[in-house]
Structure 1
Amino acid sequence: MNAGMSPLERRYRRLLRLLPATHRDARGEELLGLLLDLDHGRRHPSRHETLHLIALAVRLRLTTPVTTAALTTALSALLVAAGTQPAGSTLDLFTGAVLASDMPAVISGWPQTVALGLVPLAPLIAWLCGATRTALTLQAILLTATVGWFVIDALSGAGMGIDPGQLVFAYAIPVLIFVLLVIAGRERWTAPRPRLFWWALVPLGVLAWKGTGEWGRHGVYVHDAVPAVIGILAAAVVAVGAAFAVRRHRPAVILGVGLTGLVAGWLIPDPLLVTTAMRHFDGQPLPLAILITVLAATVAGVSHLARRHRSESRSLPPDEPVLG
């Protein structure tokens, strides 16, 4: 930076780095001049202008195409994983989770059981149909009912002995879905494409939850070495991907990023898989949502490459006839 720059300008320039590069290049100097005029005579940016600048940066970052695609994919994956869980558990309840001697009691109350299993699918279906505000309303109703149910149990003493950490983890996904739906309604987001892929995930998600019930009930568990292997593979993928991203195919880059990815791959997937997926997800939708996100990113990447290949093929001139 310029040595003659005032402390206020230097600090505001650092804050302006929060803005996307395109907006910073187009409006950065104009915005900087306005901020310097508003805080003239100060050595530090005022709290009011700092908060407004951070809010502007967050809003602009949320509207970039890459961020929008990532967040809508994550939202769709969370909706599929969380919405299909009750339906899968209900299917499992009628197809093996209960002993034959106890089935009459389950069958006698099947309308209520089936309804409770299908209702959480409503926000997902509304989101995939393009009704974002309807999905937000339905998610708010479900979240309110879930929290209200817990409060009633806590007041009656039925919720005694619940681990607070598990409680926070259980409510984190519904709250995150609600927050993302609020942003989606405000920014007019829609479900990512291809829609057929996401619609196909609805029955597949139900079957996945049914399968995890069968998996754990019959004592079939993955060996403890699997998370370590997945961590090493994740590290290798991160290393190669980073090397291509920075366009520097140097051993130092691959080695440095590979070691970082190895540590992250060892620390993050290992406890995540051991505590959730190794015990048939333990009723938590996050592992399934991560898996769906990876699949969706792969499908989107393949679709993008296919579209680009078709456009390049159409842009090529036709082959000239060979003169005999």
Structure 2
Amino acid sequence: MSPDVSPLERRYRRLLRLLPATHRTARGEELLGLLLDLDHGRRHPSRHETLNIVALAIRLRLTTPVTTTALTTGLSALLVAAGTQPAGHTLDLFTGAVLTTDMPALIASWPQLVVLGLLPLAPLIAWLCGATRTALTLQAIFLTVTVGWFVIDVLSGAGMGINPGQQLFAYAPPVLILGLLAIAARERWTAPRPRLFWWALVPLGILAWKGTGEWGRHGVYVSDAVPTVIGIHAAATAAVAAAFAVRRHRPAVIVGVGLTGFLAGWLIPDRLLVNTAMQHFDGQPLPLAILIAVAAATMTGIGHLARRPMAS
């Protein structure tokens, strides 16, 4: 950079690096000149213009194809994991979670239980059908009702002894889903393809929650297998990312980085893995959402690699 560059210009150039490279190439110098004119005589960018640049960078990066794909995949994974949880637990109630002596009372109220178990699937189904605003409205209603019940319990004294940290962690997925749906509605995002993959995950997610209910009841925590599972996921993610980053020698990159990721996953301490990955057995949808997102990203990456010709 030229020594004649003023401190203001140098700092604005650093800020403009937040913008996507394509936008900087097309409009960077023009935008820089405008900012220097607006803040002429200053040594530091004004707070107003700094916030404008940050907001512009966020908006532009949210509209890039890679970011859009990543966020819609994450949103879909969260919706599947959180939406299928009540249905899975309802299925578990009627297939082993309740003692035989208590089944008559459960059977007597089965319509209400089934409805309550299936209702949380509504935002997911609306999202997969392309009705993003409907999904947003339904998610907002469900979150409001859930938080309202919690507040009523606290005010009535029924919520004594609740761990605030655990409660905040429990509300994190639905709040994150609501935020992503709001962005999706604004940017007119749609569910990622192939849609059949995501529709198939609905019954699979219900069965997964049923299975974790069984495992949790009988204390089956297969901690020895966790490093292998995490290693495989780390290998697949790292290999696909590296294959996109490196144009040449893709097969070698996939194998090499994949083995490295597998070893890295294997060497992570068991205690750390049990305390993170196995949280799914405690009824938290986030680990299942991560698993679904990794599977979807891996499938998308492999599909892109299969369609692209190999570089010479």
Would the TM-score normalized by the shorter structure come out above 0.5? yes
- Alignment partners' CA distance in 1, 2:230 and 2:91: 33
AA at the equivalent of 1:266: I
Where has structure 1 moved over 2 Å in runs of 4 or more? 225-249, 261-267, 275-281, 301-309
Q: Cα–Cα, structure 1 residues 264 and 221, in superposed 2: closer, same or farther, change >3 Å? A: closer
Contact 1:69 1:192 in 2 (8 A): yes
What is the CA distance between 1:148 and its match in structure 2? 0.3
Deviations 1:3-24 (A, max 9, x none): 1100000000000000000000
Contact 1:140 1:178 in 2 (8 A): yes
1:240-279 alpha-carbon deviations (Å, 9 max, x no partner): 6676535799xxxx89xx69x9499727x853x4136536
SS at match of 2:297: helix
Are the aligned partners of 2:78 and 2:173 in contact in 1 as well (CA < 8 Å)?
A: yes
- Aligned pairs, number: 303
Change (3 A) 1:102 1:158: same
Question: What is the rounded CA distance, in whole Å, between the counterparts of 1:286 and 1:157 in structure 2?
Answer: 29
CA deviation after TM superposition for structure 1 residue 58, in Å: 0.2
Q: Give, in angstroms, the shift of residue 110 of structure 1.
A: 1.2
RMSD: 2.9
Query: Is 1:63 matched up with 2:63?
Result: yes
Change (3 A) 1:19 1:262: same
Q: What's the secondary structure of 2:134's corresponding residue?
A: helix
For residue 306 of structure 1, report the CA deviation from its aligned partner.
4.0
Query: Is residue 128–residue 191 contact of structure 1 (8 Å, CA) maintained in 2?
Result: yes
Q: Could you say if the C-alpha distance between residues 16 and 2 of structure 1 is closer, same or farther in structure 2, counting changes exceeding 3 Å?
A: same
DSSP-derived class of the 1:4 partner: coil
Q: Are 1:104 and 2:104 an aligned pair?
A: yes
Larger Rg: 1
Report the Cα distance in structure 1 between the residues aligned to 2:8 and 2:203, rounded to whole angstroms.
57
Q: How does 1:86-165 map to 2 (within 5 A)?
A: 86-165=86-165
Residue equivalent to 1:302: 302
TM-score (norm 2): 0.88
Q: Alpha-carbon deviation of 1:294?
A: 1.2
- Letter aligned with residue 281 of structure 1: F
Deviates more, 1:141-150 or 1:236-245: 236-245
The alignment's TM-score, normalised by the length of structure 1, stands at: 0.85
- Paired-residue identity, %: 76
Contact 2:13 2:32 (8 Å CA) reproduced: yes
Structure 1 unaligned blocks of 5 or more: 313-324
In structure 1, what is the Cα distance between the partners aligned to 2:74 and 2:267?
20
Rounded Cα–Cα distance in structure 2 between residues aligned with 1:36 and 1:172: 41
Deviation at 1:62, TM superposition (A): 0.2
Q: CA deviation at 1:221?
A: 1.7
Cα distance in 1 for residues equivalent to 2:82 and 2:242: 35
Contiguous gaps of at least 5 residues in structure 2 = 250-255
